[in-house]
């Protein structure tokens, strides 16, 4: 089973741990404890074509004092999910700070994706999809923002599936000889030994 590391970032209380809990355990709590330092969960994801992978999901306390931990955990991450809270303007402004840390510390081809949270709180919404999309274009995020609710579960799975598919896109290649997926960097299919053909988008 292929294993990929992903990290979640975002302002305190933006809903990082809640998103992970909904995705991994299908639960939601109105009251949560702030994450102290770092937390970790794994989750198997099944994609089309019998493609399975395991996500190793790292969660960080958004409190200022824990931010110093974040850079060292960026190393080796295939994707970084940066969250903003659709009911909190500052959380979208803070996205830039997280992007800077990720750009400085993560691998060059890390997938950055922006995720809005708490869309069930419709009356409290202060950030439109268009505003978030602007940020996503400015900071070179992969794809449009995905707006989620960990309370109702809306779009939570979609957010992680989008990321998983892109991880596969960037890291694996379909062997034209035997039809298996192999790790692109190997440049040779580790199932049948065929030499990899260069992909057009590379
Ligand atoms: N209504 C609603 N509340 C949410 C949602 N997601 C999170 N919350 C609430 O927001 C609060 C903070 O959620 P957490 O998941 O602990 O936030 P966090 O980003 O992990 O916070 P730190 O660990 O302190 O950085 C909790 O009271 C959650 O119940 C959501 O989708 N809808
Ligand atoms: Mg947390």
Tell me: the pLDDT tens digits for 43-100?
999 987 678 899 999 999 999 999 899 999 999 999 999 999 999 999 999 999 999 9
Q: How many domains does the chain have?
A: 1
Residue 67 placed within a domain: yes
Residue 196 in any domain: the answer is no
Blockwise average pLDDT, block size 10, the chain, 202 residues: 94 98 98 95 88 94 91 95 98 96 94 97 98 94 96 98 93 90 89 81 48
Q: Which residues are found with C-beta within 5 Å of the ion, ligand 2?
A: 16-17, 35
Report the alpha-carbon distance of residue 136 to residue 129 in Å, rounded: 10
Give the H/E segment covering residue 154. Answer: none
**Which residue of 8, 9, 11, 18 sits with most ligand 1 atoms within 8 Å of its CB, as the best mutation to test the pocket?**
18
| 3-state class (DSSP) for residue 56 | strand
C-alpha 196 to ligand 2 mean position (Å): 42
Does 152 fall in a domain?
A: yes
C-alpha 11 to ligand 1 mean position (Å): 10
Start-to-end C-alpha separation, the chain: 25
> Within a 10 A sphere around the Cβ of 8, how many other Cβ atoms?
24
111 bridge partner residues: 79
CATH of the domain at 6: 3.40.50.300
Q: Is residue 199 part of a domain?
A: no
Residue 15 lies in a domain: yes
pTM for the model: 0.94
| Rounded-to-integer distance, Cα 20 and Cα 30, Å | 14
Confirm whether 126 is domain-assigned.
Answer: yes
Q: Are 42 and 57 in contact (CB under 8 A)?
A: yes
* DSSP assigned state of 27: -
Instruction: State which ligand 1 atom lies nearest to the alpha carbon of 29.
Output: 29
* Residue 16, domain extent: 2-172
């Amino acid at each position: 089973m292929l294993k990929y590391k992903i990290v979640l970032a975002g302002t305190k209380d933006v809903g990082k741990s809640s998103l992970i809990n909904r995705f991994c355990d299908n639960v939601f709590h109105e009251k949560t404890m702030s994450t102290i330092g770092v937390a970790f969960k794994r989750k198997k994801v099944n994609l089309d074509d019998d493609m399975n992978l395991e996500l190793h999901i790292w969660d960080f306390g958004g409190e200022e004092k824990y931010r110093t931990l974040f850079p060292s955990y960026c190393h080796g991450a295939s994707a970084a999910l940066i969250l903003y809270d659709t009911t909190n303007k500052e959380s979208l402004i803070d996205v830039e700070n997280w992007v800077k840390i990720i750009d400085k510390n993560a691998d060059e081809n890390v997938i950055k994706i922006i995720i809005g949270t708490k869309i069930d709180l419709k009356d409290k919404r202060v950030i439109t999809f268009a505003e978030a999309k602007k940020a996503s274009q400015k900071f070179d995020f992969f794809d449009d923002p995905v707006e989620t609710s960990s309370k109702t579960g809306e779009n939570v799975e979609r957010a992680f599936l989008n990321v998983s598919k892109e991880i596969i896109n960037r890291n694996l290649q379909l062997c034209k000889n035997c039809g298996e997926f192999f790790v692109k960097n190997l440049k040779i299919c580790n199932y049948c030994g065929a030499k990899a053909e260069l992909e057009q988008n590379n």
